[in-house]
């Protein structure tokens, strides 16, 4: 933990709305070492994007506010950072890639200019020509053909996949310490998804960047993330290495998610198993475990009190009452073994 570049502790983030306070993130803890990758997985509205944006305070234009918790990045307290320092961190150290490449580039500015703008903002003393050289080099690294020509083009002359590559180039051109990918492949078709994932994975090695990868698709993070946090209703339900999550997962929610992922070799006649019900209302989060209402293993205690966090391995943690010593024994539907820590 000593050398962790990012440390998020007990982060609670809420939004004021006319209907009241939405508790989007309700106590999230994780840390990330430099050049490591973390996947945050969860369904829509579970707070994964809010968590990521909170790191660089990109939610602050909205009605959102940080209720509790700390975010330490590279020895800096991100939540109390002065505006100017915050902009410096955004410019140089933490860059983001967003979900929809069709709308995340400015349509009236040349792509090259958008990249050099970011570079020059991070390194104000750099000469324009040097920034342009770096931009073209980065475009080349993201496997965009004819980068010199593409540099002079507008976003509407790029296809969706090319735009996402340009976004990646825009983010990586300053060689940031942390790259936050907020569902970067969700808006792309499947073949492009694979290419973009491959690209991000390759570039991580080249640029030696730490990555937070947000997605609702477990299949996507399997490929890219070393550690995975499974989020539900603003909380991390289970955290562990990719192996822990895929081969030895502990939380009933993770089981549900894994069971609802289609397998390429599955018999077509076997229906997918969905998780019944809908996520809880975050205006009034449930008192006990947020997943209790949809959990087939829910016990009396699950509805009354929040489960403690159990350590199942070196990094592997799980928040579920099933691991209490007094709980009944159940069978893990993924491994078909009785659950133990």
Partner 1 sequence: MLKYTLRRVASLIITLFLIATVTFFLMNAVPGDPFALDRDTPQVIRDSLDQRYGLDKPVLERYVIYMGRLIKGDLGMSMKFKGQTVIDKVTTTMPVSIKVGLGGVILGVFIGVIFGIIAALNNGKTFDFIVIIAAIVGVSIPNFVFATLFQRLFGVTLGILPIFGYKGFLYLILPIFAAAMQNIAFYARMLRSSMLDVMNQDYIMTAQSKGLTRRSVIFRHTLRNSMLPLVTSFGPMLAGVLTGNFVIEKIFGIPGIGNAMIMAIQGSDYMMIMGLTIVFSFISVVMYFMVDILYGIVDPRIRIS
Q: Least distance from C-beta 131 to partner 1, angstroms?
A: 13
Q: List interacting residues with partner 1 (CB under 8 A).
A: 56, 58, 61, 87-92, 95-96, 98-100, 103-109, 114, 117-118, 121-122, 154, 156, 167, 170-171
**Residue 185: strand, helix, or coil:** coil
Cβ-based nearer residue to partner 1, 98 or 232? 98
Cβ-based nearer residue to partner 1, 56 or 292? 56
Query: What is the Cα Rg of the chain in Å?
Result: 21
Q: Least distance from C-beta 29 to partner 1, angstroms?
A: 24
Q: Which of 170, 176, 78 is nearest to 117 (CA)?
A: 170
Cβ-based nearer residue to partner 1, 117 or 243? 117
Q: Least distance from C-beta 103 to partner 1, angstroms?
A: 4
* Pairing status of strand 4-17 against strand 64-73: antiparallel
The residue written with tokens 């489960």 in the block is 307
Cβ-based nearer residue to partner 1, 181 or 230? 181
Q: Least distance from C-beta 108 to partner 1, angstroms?
A: 5
DSSP for residue 91: I
Distance CA 75, CA 37 (A): 19
Cβ-based nearer residue to partner 1, 170 or 295? 170
> Sign of dihedral through CA atoms 158, 164, 168, 170?
positive
Q: Least distance from C-beta 309 to partner 1, angstroms?
A: 32
- Name, in order, each residue with C-beta under 8 angstroms of 204's C-beta and a sequence gap of 6 or more: 35, 37, 179, 211
CB 51 within 8 A of CB 39: no
List the beta strands (DSSP E) in the chain. Answer: 4-17, 20-33, 37-41, 64-73, 76-77, 94-97, 178-182, 210-215, 227-232, 235-241, 309-311, 317-319
Q: Least distance from C-beta 90 to partner 1, angstroms?
A: 3
Q: Least distance from C-beta 37 to partner 1, angstroms?
A: 19
Cβ-based nearer residue to partner 1, 56 or 210? 56
Tokens representing residue 3 in the block: 């050398």
Cβ-based nearer residue to partner 1, 108 or 329? 108
Distance CA 85, CA 294 (A): 44
């Amino acid at each position: 933990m000593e050398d962790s570049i990012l440390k998020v502790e007990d982060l609670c983030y809420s939004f004021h709305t006319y209907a009241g306070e939405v508790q989007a993130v309700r106590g999230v803890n994780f840390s990330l070492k430099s050049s490591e990758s973390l996947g945050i997985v969860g369904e829509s509205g579970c707070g994964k994007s809010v968590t990521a944006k909170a790191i660089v305070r990109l939610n602050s234009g909205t009605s959102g506010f940080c209720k509790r918790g700390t975010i330490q990045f590279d020895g800096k307290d991100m939540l109390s950072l002065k505006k100017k320092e915050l902009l410096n961190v955004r410019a140089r150290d933490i860059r983001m890639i967003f979900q929809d490449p069709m709308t995340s580039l400015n349509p009236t500015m040349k792509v090259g200019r958008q990249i050099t703008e970011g570079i020059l903002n991070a390194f104000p003393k750099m000469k324009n020509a040097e920034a342009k050289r770096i931009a073209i080099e980065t475009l080349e690294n993201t496997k965009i053909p004819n980068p010199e020509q593409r540099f002079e083009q507008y976003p509407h002359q790029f296809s969706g996949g090319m735009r996402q590559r340009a976004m990646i180039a825009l983010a990586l051109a300053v060689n940031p310490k942390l790259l936050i990918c907020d569902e970067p492949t969700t808006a792309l078709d499947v073949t492009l998804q694979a290419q973009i994932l491959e690209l991000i994975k390759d570039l991580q090695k080249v640029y030696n960047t730490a990555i937070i990868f947000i997605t609702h698709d477990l299949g996507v993070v399997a490929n890219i993330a070393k550690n995975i946090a499974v989020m539900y209703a603003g909380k991390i339900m289970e955290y562990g290495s990719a192996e822990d999550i895929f081969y030895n997962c502990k939380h009933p929610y993770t089981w549900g998610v894994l069971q609802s992922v289609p397998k390429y070799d599955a018999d077509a006649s076997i229906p997918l198993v969905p998780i019944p019900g809908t996520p809880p209302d975050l205006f009034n989060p449930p008192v006990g475990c947020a997943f209790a209402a949809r959990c087939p293993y829910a016990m009396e205690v699950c509805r009354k009190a929040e489960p403690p966090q159990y350590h199942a391995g070196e990094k592997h943690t799980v928040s579920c009452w099933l691991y209490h010593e007094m709980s009944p024994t159940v069978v893990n539907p993924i491994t078909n073994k009785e659950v133990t820590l």
